[in-house]
Structure 1
Amino acid sequence: MSTATTTMQAYRASLLHFHADPAFNDDAHAWHEDGLLLIEDGRVKAAGDYAKLACMLPDGVTPVDYRGMVITPGFIDTHLHFPQTDMIASPSPGLLPWLETYTFPTERRFEDPAHARSTAEFFLDELLRCGTTTAVVYCTVHPQSVDAFFEVSEARNLRMVAGKVLMDRHCPDFLRDVEGGVGDSAALIEKWHKRGRQLYAITPRFAPTSTDAQLHATGELAAAYPDTFIQTHVSENKDECKWVGELHPQARSYLDVYERFGLMRPRALFGHCIWLDDDDFARMAHTGSAAAVCPTSNLFLGSGLFDFERADRAGALLSLGTDVGAGTSFSMLQTMNEAYKVARLKGSYLKAERMFYLATLGAARAMGLEGTIGSFAPGAEADFIVLDPKATPLMARRTAQLASLEELLFALALLGDDRSIKATYSNGKQVHAR
């Protein structure tokens, strides 16, 4: 028996993936209504029309039949906090009191490795149930929280990005990096970055909670490890922006604080970006930094509405994040739902095709991982999901009356949630089935 016969997997369904941003290209997607996805050794071998690719099927390989459903690359969530899983849906009048009342006390528990590990197990279960195969994740200040997360992710062979929070001021003493935080981060990079499918993100929480000395050391760390990720928050809330201006009067803007410390570069992901101006977005585009747009949490905390048109004028890289636990759902479909409404309130319009792009190839591009995840390009890692357009009675009724692909995707985004995910595959292996 040939190697191809024993290792190839095949899946028959409608296939959707992207090769360009629909906001700037009329022909941005590949759609195969009766499609065939071929996987070999955990990577995409081919994706296209069933009639054209069926001849590639080795003897003895029968496609898994998902006809009537849609296979897309797995969703990519570029901003969320695994330690905040247990405090999701906690009431608060705004960002800063929410941090003090719920976030910091909850994160204190992650000094216990057993608690961190059990939370990571549940967190990853929830992501996979919602069709998210890659996420960019905040841990806590405790190195053991990072070890626990990566140990659980590595055991499942998932493509995940995570990092230890850096925070040495304006926070409770029990979460303060008095010394050693950046050194701990360097040790974690050496241990975990590019170990299997794990990748490391240098993670200053946000400018107010790091001294200039820590931000300077963080910039040096980012320069020493240029293929790591950087993740932080910027311009989420007006009170926060005012506070940063008082702490850094020499900076032109909140974002400029990070640029002054060498923290804007490719693979730098900035959460929220609500109150950036044209110059800020131009700097993001110039440096190859990316915005992680978090509509559910921005609405939940009343922080503001992201300006898609302003970001697009500058050519900034964009992606979507759930921002659990200020975000109120792990589902990227629900995040698309809220992103659509945020755009409408700002006077612009997000096509469903664009929302699916932002959750797949757009996120991969923002992360510098195009060709690795986010599409069905030959050789890409076989992370994909099966979407069921008839997952609920209402969805079944709506999708029985479709006039276009855009209507199908719009129905999935506006009506879908975790119930819409029939199956999730990571590296060619089924890791969730409904």
Structure 2
Amino acid sequence: MAINSTGNTGLQAYRASLLHFTNDPAFHQQAYAWHEDGLLIVNDGKVQAAGDYAQLKNSLPEGTAVQDYRGKLITPGFIDTHIHYPQTDMIASPAPGLLPWLETYTFPTERKFSDPEHAGEVARFFLDELLRCGTTTAMVYCTVHPESVEAFFTESEARNLRMVAGKVMMDRNCPEFLRDTAESGARESEDLIKKWHKRGRQLYAITPRFAPTSTEAQLQLAGELARAYPDTYLQTHVAENTDEVAWVKSLFPKARSYLDVYDHYGMMRPRAMYAHCIWLDDADRARMAETHSAVSMCPTSNLFLGSGLFNFERADAQHVPLSLATDVGGGTSFSMLQTMNEAYKVARMGGTYLPALRMFYLATLGGARSMQLEGTIGNFVAGAEADFIVLDPQATPLLARRSSRTDSLEELLFALALLGDDRTVAATYAAGRQVHLRKD
């Protein structure tokens, strides 16, 4: 049998500590599998087995090379459920709030993505950065230009990554140079769905930017697309900022709430991902749970733009599907570890204690479940795609010193989440192929 340590064909084996989740630790005592001396077996880009080294080693054919990562931790690759690849070049741009930030930085930056060469260059850097930070799947906003989507999917497909992306739909309250029409936005989106959705590991997301930048006609057509292609994704923003909420109320005075605008147009369903969800009420949360629409929490971005604090307690009371996201460029880091750090602090400020086990769940299986991809990505069940990362508790002097003094899995994970960053990711694998190796 072919042995290939970096390709995605043949049999591969990796020895390290292994961690993956089977349930949400907030609601289940037996929510994860932890193998301090573990073995991950991959065959043709998919997980064949994951468990204790002592129990699995004899199942390997004689002569199989085992990649030795002892002293390190292997987890499923991180899943970032809300990020804007065109905003890579404007990350860390100063502004007093969301709406002036969009006008001053976001829209001028996105204008450049009508140029396929520019879009392709940014897509390459963006994906390099994701993989360097251990993110193997993301739900990605492109721009209003179909060229931006083509560039992104072309680069992602070349790397055989599991990615979700879509063309932004935006036909009002934006500069003329970024404006489509209700009809052209729907037509271009449908063309991209037909070309890219389920092509290899690529998946399409219908992407109205947010309610204020779409007319009722565009929202109607977006909802019709969502019904016509029920296995596509839908992604948008909701209830991020109080000024934005007030704006939506003025634009849609008949709607019960901001979320109700989307509900009215048939946009609440499985595979619908709503970013932020800070200023929802319990009726909104109940509706999200009922429709299996998911929340993408963006703590770094919410703090950076002063938008507010996500309410874990109220969301959990309604069992709303939750996931974690960086929201670059409002977010200030591509690292999901640094995003966990901010999520922990946001939760504490709101009176909730967020254990490290749950933070890692939200960044892996929580994302997969929110995206209706459990069994495909997010953990190490047999047959899942072999997207995984190798985390190094010795990556920095401070992290090494703290890790050496941990006496439980929770303490170790907490140290990784609070002290870790891109340097903590020693290697990243997608479909069994090594796509990033840290340079020491």
Q: TM-score range by the shorter chain?
A: over 0.9
Name the counterpart of 2:33. Answer: 30
* 2:206 corresponds to which of 202, 205, 219: 202
The amino acid that maps onto 1:185 is S
Cα separation, 2, equivalents of 1:394 and 1:90: 29
Q: Partner residue of 1:375?
A: 379
Partner Cα distance (2:416, 2:186) in 1: 42
Letter in 2 for 1:81: H
- Give the Å deviation of 1:129: 0.1
The CA deviation string for residues 222-262 of structure 1, in whole angstroms up to 9 with x for no partner, is 00000000000000000000000111111110000000000
User: Which of residues 259, 262, 269 is equivalent to 1:255?
Assistant: 259
- Work out the CA distance in 1 between the residues paired with 2:2 and 2:318: 51
Q: Deviations over 1:357-403 (max 9, x none)?
A: 00000100000000000000000000000000010000010000111
Name the aligned partner's letter for residue 290 of structure 1. A
Q: Report if aligned partners of 2:16, 2:37 keep a CA contact under 8 Å in 1.
A: yes
Unaligned runs of 5+ in 2: none
Q: Is the CA contact (8 Å cut-off) linking 2:323 and 2:366 kept in structure 1?
A: yes
1:166 is aligned to 2:174 = no
In 2: Cα distance, 1:24 partner to 1:260 partner: 31
Trace 1:51-66 onto structure 2 (pairs within 5 A).
Answer: 51-66=54-69
Instruction: Tell me the equivalent position of 2:226.
Output: 222
Q: Which amino acid aligns with 1:45?
A: Q
Deviation at 1:123, TM superposition (A): 0.1
Contact 2:238–2:277 (Cα < 8 Å) also in 1: yes
Q: Which residue of 2 aligns with 1:351?
A: 355
Question: Is residue 84 from structure 1 mapped to residue 87 from structure 2 by the alignment?
Answer: yes
Alignment-derived partner of residue 310 in structure 2: 306
1:182 to 180, 186, 189: 186
1:402 aligned residue (386, 389, 406): 406
- 1:245 matched residue in structure 2: 249
Question: Which amino acid in the other structure matches residue 104 of structure 2?
Answer: T
2:354 partner amino acid:
L
Aligned residue among 231, 235, 242 for 1:231? 235
> CA shift at 1:131, angstroms?
0.1
1:385 aligns with 2:389: yes
Unaligned 5+ segments in structure 1 are none
Give per-residue Cα distances to partners, 1:95-124, cap 9 Å, x unaligned: 000000000000000000000000000000
Q: Find the counterpart in structure 2 of residue 75 from structure 1.
A: 78
Report if the CA contact (8 A) 2:324-2:363 is conserved. Answer: yes
User: 1:60 offset after TM fit, Å?
Assistant: 1.6
Structure-1 residue corresponding to 2:51: 48
In 1: Cα distance, 2:306 partner to 2:260 partner: 24
Check the 8 A contact 1:265/1:287 in 2, yes or no: yes
Partner Cα separation in structure 2 for residue 44 and residue 165 of structure 1? 34
Residues 171 and 179 in structure 2, CA contact (< 8 A), matched pair in contact too: yes
Residue 328 of structure 2 is aligned to residue 324 of structure 1: yes
2:417 is matched with: 413
Alignment-derived partner of residue 426 in structure 1: 430
Aligned-partner SS, 2:296: strand
Distance change (3 Å), C-alpha of 1:304 and 1:96 = same
Partner of 1:343: helix, strand, or coil?
helix
In 2, the alpha carbon distance for the partners of 1:376 and 1:388 equals: 19
Hey, what does 2:154 align to over in structure 1?
151
Shift of residue 62, structure 1, vs aligned partner: 2.0
Tell me if the contact between 1:353 and 1:409 (Cα under 8 Å) persists in the aligned partners: yes
Cross-structure match for 1:101: 104
What SS does the aligned partner of 2:280 have? coil
Partner of 1:117: 120
**TM-score, scaled relative to structure 2:** 0.98
Residue deviations 1:307-339, cap 9 Å, x none? Answer: 011000001000001000000000000000000
Q: 2: distance between equivalents of 1:220 and 1:312?
A: 31
Which residue identity lines up with residue 321 of structure 1 in the other structure? A
State whether residues 4 and 58 of structure 1, in contact with CA within 8 Å, keep that contact through their aligned partners in structure 2. no
Specify the code of the residue in structure 2 equivalent to 1:415: L
Report the TM-score, using the length of structure 1 for normalisation. 0.99
Q: Which residue of 2 aligns with 1:270?
A: 274
SS at structure 1 position matched to 2:13: strand
Whole-Å separation in 2 of the counterparts to 1:218 and 1:136: 18
Q: CA deviation at 1:4?
A: 11
- Give me the whole-angstrom Cα distance separating, in 2, the residues matched to 1:307 and 1:350: 12
Kept in 2: contact 1:363–1:374 (CA 8 A): yes
Q: Aligned pair in 2 of structure 1 residues 417, 196: CA closer, same or farther (>3 Å)?
A: same
CA displacement 1:269-326 (0-9 Å, x = unmatched) = 0000000011111000000000000000000000000001100000100000100000
Q: Check whether the contact 2:3–2:64 (CA below 8 A) recurs between aligned residues.
A: no
Q: Distance in 2 between matches of 1:403 and 1:26?
A: 20
3-state DSSP class of the match of 1:380? coil
Letter in 2 for 1:230: L
Contact 2:3–2:65 (CA under 8 A) maintained in structure 1: no
**Deviation by residue 1:34-67 (Cα, 9 ceiling, x = unmatched):** 0000000000000000000001111221210000
Aligned-residue RMSD, C-alpha: 1.2
- Per-residue displacement from partner, 1:149-186 (whole Å, max 9, x unpaired)? 00000000000000000000000000011341110000
User: In percent, how many aligned pairs have the same letter?
Assistant: 73
Contact 1:389/1:395 (8 A) holds in 2: yes
SS in 2 for 1:236: coil
From the superposition, tell whether residues 206 and 68 of structure 1 become closer, same or farther in structure 2 (CA, over 3 Å). same
- Following TM superposition, the consecutive aligned residue runs of length 4 or more in structure 1 with deviations greater than 6 angstroms are 2-6
Q: How many Å separate the matches in 2 of 1:199 and 1:90?
A: 30
- C-alpha distance in 2 between matches for 1:294 and 1:4: 38
